Chain A
Amino acid sequence: MSTDLIIAVIITVVGASTPILIAALGELVVERAGVLNLGVEGMMLVGAITAFVIVFVTGNHYLAILMAAAAGVATSLIFGFLTLSLSANQTATGLALTIFGTGLSALAGQGYSAKPVTLLGPLFPGLAADPFWRVLFGYSALVYFALFMVVAIWYFLKRTRAGLILRAVGENDLSAHSIGYSVIGVRYMAVMFGGAMAGIAGACFPLLLTPQWAERMTAGRGWIAVALVVFASWRPFRLLAGAYLFGLVMTMELYAKAGGGPLSAIPSELWAALPYLATVVVLVLISIRRDASTNAPACLGKPFLPSN
């Protein structure tokens, strides 16, 4: 394989991984606070259509990203209100949120299909033109944002007092409450952060991958993000590795489809199914290895009922 091809593959992998990584980072923070939000896919779709419409109307990509984050937060607040303020079941509410987001984005996107927009360009156009250095500096701001957030979230969780409080709330909500921390408040912040990240992850699709709107264009990547959090045992750097691994598998699919080379020996449908199969396998492996799952936040998915 020539250097050019390797660089091209790396660039495709990084692009494909970025939305998964951003969404999973948000979900990681949400789950560390003890909340399981299965609505990532729905929030991503709301973010995707918002970003598309804004960029279609204004042509401003950064405004589109910002508004996608805001739309993600707004969607997550529905989930937050139901599960945190009204103590509704998180699993059911999360599933409903995905269905809601899918429908809402399809409705809002009517009349926008097959209309082209421009992709978000690289952050450093000069270096992006360099045939070699583009492998490091040829990406759009969203890619660097994702990498920055890996480090930022790791530092936040591990080293800051606010991160410690967030982990404490996810670990033992009743104790955190009795010490005097606002469990519901912390969880609202986490859910909103997760919503913002999912919205931005959704914006990656029209701004980074395919410059148009298509219904359900996130194609289940939100679910992969949720599985990835478990895969990474709730640790940011493992999440990074996992996201790039999934991105690699997804890129294989593209090359297999394009034909040629040893990859096309396997039908592209199987390549397309691989990330999802890998998700299932990973979840099974983790369930078998009990020690790994003990890293799960102890209060994950349990509603906070302080009266008991």
Chain B
Amino acid sequence: MPYRLELTGITKRFPGVLANDNVTFAVKPGEIHALLGENGAGKSTLVKMIYGIMQPDAGEIRWDGSPVTVANPKAARKLGIGMVFQHFSLFEALTVLENIALGMDSKIPSRQLEARIRAVMTQYGLLLDPHRTVATLSVGERQRIEIVRALLLEPKLLIMDEPTSVLTPQEVEQLFEVLRKLAAEGCSILYISHKLHEIKALCDTATILRGGKLVDTCDPKQETSRSMAEKMIGAGLKDIVRGEGRSLGQPKLVVSRLSTAKTGHFDVPVDNVSFTVRAGEIFGIAGVAGNGQNALLDALSGEVRSGDKDAITLDGFPLGLLDTTGRRKRGLCAVPEERNGHAAVGDFTLSDNSVLTARDRLGMVMLGLINSGAAKTYTGRVIADFAVKALGPASTAGSLSGGNLQKYIMGREILQKPSVLVVSQPTWGVDAGAAAAIHQALVDLAAAGSAIVVISQDLDELRALCDTLAVINMGHLSPARPTGEMSVEEIGLLMGGVHGQAEARDAVPA
């Protein structure tokens, strides 16, 4: 039997970078094939060439044994290639049905299309109401639209780009069921991820890329997560080093009955949230995106001030009425989820970005004048200590890759030695090596006596990092418990609990 897809010597060059260098691998019919690699390893570029978004500079793509040129995504879909993007290409103001209609190449009357959608949803257990507006849907539900859209074309190869990064463990399990069912029916799946245990659980073969080159093709079931990770980053993986037998100190950050107002139509406010973080403690907040994490971060950082001065206290000092600058002066620093545009200004230099958050704590402004020398020195230190790949303090934030910008932002806050650090999604879209460095820096900061709050959707990260865990769902925070005492299933139920019920009510009957 010929391979479903064969790539031979694929090369793609961008100005200054060799994104793919002579990559060769093949996918069998019905095989679940993992494409593994750090950020910038060339996974996305490779997949874009398979899907026709880009053209290779050299090399050959064979489909069912015969060489093909995939001129554009339309041509790819015609061959039978479907793709589910990491960043969903959905239109928020349109309905599920309209979104799916846009993805169809042939014109189908909407009633007929709806019948087909319902059939596919029932067949694979992907429940959704076709007439709901996308803006009202959770991230997991949005992903289902993308999957249904791809499945309607009866693909012979389905490309999934980092599909699980936003899902609860239960949603991940549901997704795997769908993918296994598809594979059993003969559809090949190209599964892009850096979550190794998922690849071990799901995939038959794994192709590992590093720096644009193919490193290895292996059977993930025969490998350990560690051995694959080391192939991926090309070096030994560092474990998080914790001080032995450290004890937690006095309560530092005390949040009591913190609530926020509902600001937008699709915004989830936090409701009566209370928790305590002690000196040296890393406090994790798990939850599916869109359950009040943004409101919580804004309320803690001071972007949204609380009406009650005692809602947030630091070492007993009330912070509730202070703004971000006031709270920073008192020692509470925060890193929001969105790197570009919220945590950093893309068009500013790194130096100027340092001034934006570190000016008061590090005396970068005197009599209203910026001490650019101090800002430059500090930024240089951040770049050096956190191994940020940047030309220097004068490069703009927007010119850095996501992972490098995140390292810079984390470094900028951590080197200010805050007594409380609140971070959201500290390693979102960051490769394994950089993530390990950021985790280690957080652990070290805690060991030095700071209290740290980590808001994340990545359960592995929270379980590895945090002393204490709580789960946020629809703006409510579950009681905090030591991480070791909570199982993944338990956390997953807390994450999905209320929301899962709401979802089932609106969905089409299976």
Contacts and interface: CB of A to CB of B under 8 A. Distances in A.
Interface stretch (B99-107, B198-206, B288-296): B99-107
A295 B265 CA distance: 12
A215 interface: no
B102 A172 contact: no
B73 interface: yes
Interface string B72-108: 1110000000000100111111100010011101010
A172 B90 contact: yes
B107 A179 contact: no
Contact of A171 (B88, B93, B105, B107): B93
Given A172-B91, A298-B93, A180 B73 contact: yes
B191 to A, nearest CB: 19
Contacts of B94: 164, 167-168, 171
B196 interface: no
A174 B91 CA distance: 10
B93 A165 contact: no
A291 interface: yes
B365 interface: no
Nearest to A297: B93
Contacts of B265: 291, 294
Contact of A164 (B53, B85, B89, B101): B101
B91 A180 contact: no
A175 interface: yes
Interface residues of B, number: 20
Contacts of B93: 167, 171, 295, 297-298
**Considering residues B72, B88, B92, B93, which has the most beta carbons from chain A within 10 angstroms of its beta carbon?**
B93
Given A178-B85, A179-B102, A294-B265, A168 B74 contact: no
A291 B73 CA distance: 36
A289 interface: no
A294 to B, nearest CB: 7
A123 B337 CA distance: 62
Given A178-B73, A178-B85, A168 B92 contact: no
Interface string B305-335: 0000000000000000000000000000000
A168 B53 contact: no
Interface in A165-195: 165, 167-168, 171-172, 174-176, 178-181
Given A179-B73, A180-B74, A291-B265, A165 B90 contact: no
Contact of B102 (A164, A174, A294): A164
Main secondary structure of the interface of B (DSSP, over half): loop
A172 B89 contact: yes
A179 B92 CA distance: 15
Given A178-B73, A178-B85, A161 B90 contact: no
B92 A172 contact: yes
Nearest to A308: B398
A174 B265 CA distance: 24
A180 B89 contact: no
A168 B107 CA distance: 16
A167 B95 CA distance: 12
A164 B105 CA distance: 13
A291 B264 CA distance: 8
A159 to B, nearest CB: 9
Nearest to B266: A294
Contacts of A294: 265
Contact of A174 (B73, B89, B103, B105): B89
A161 B113 CA distance: 13
A168 to B, nearest CB: 5
A184 to B, nearest CB: 15
A180 B72 contact: yes
A174 B102 CA distance: 13
Contacts of A172: 89-92
A172 B103 CA distance: 13
A118 B85 CA distance: 60
**Considering residues B74, B90, B91, which has the most beta carbons from chain A within 10 angstroms of its beta carbon?**
B91
B107 to A, nearest CB: 6
A178 B92 contact: no
A291 to B, nearest CB: 7
A178 B89 contact: yes
A298 B102 contact: no
B93 to A, nearest CB: 5
A283 B220 CA distance: 60
A180 B52 CA distance: 10
A171 B98 CA distance: 12
A172 B102 CA distance: 12
A164 B95 CA distance: 11
Contacts of B85: 178
Given A178-B85, A179-B103, A180-B74, A298 B98 contact: no
Query: Would you list the 10 A-B pairs with minimal beta carbon distance, nearest first?
Result: A175-B89, A180-B73, A171-B91, A178-B89, A180-B74, A172-B91, A168-B91, A168-B102, A171-B93, A179-B103
19 contacts: A161-B101, A164-B98, A165-B102, A167-B93, A168-B91, A172-B89, A172-B90, A172-B91, A175-B88, A176-B89, A178-B73, A178-B85, A179-B89, A179-B103, A180-B73, A180-B105, A294-B265, A297-B93, A298-B93
Interface of A: 161, 164-165, 167-168, 171-172, 174-176, 178-181, 290-291, 294-295, 297-298
Given A175-B90, A176-B102, 5 more contacts: A164-B101, A167-B93, A172-B90, A179-B102, A297-B93
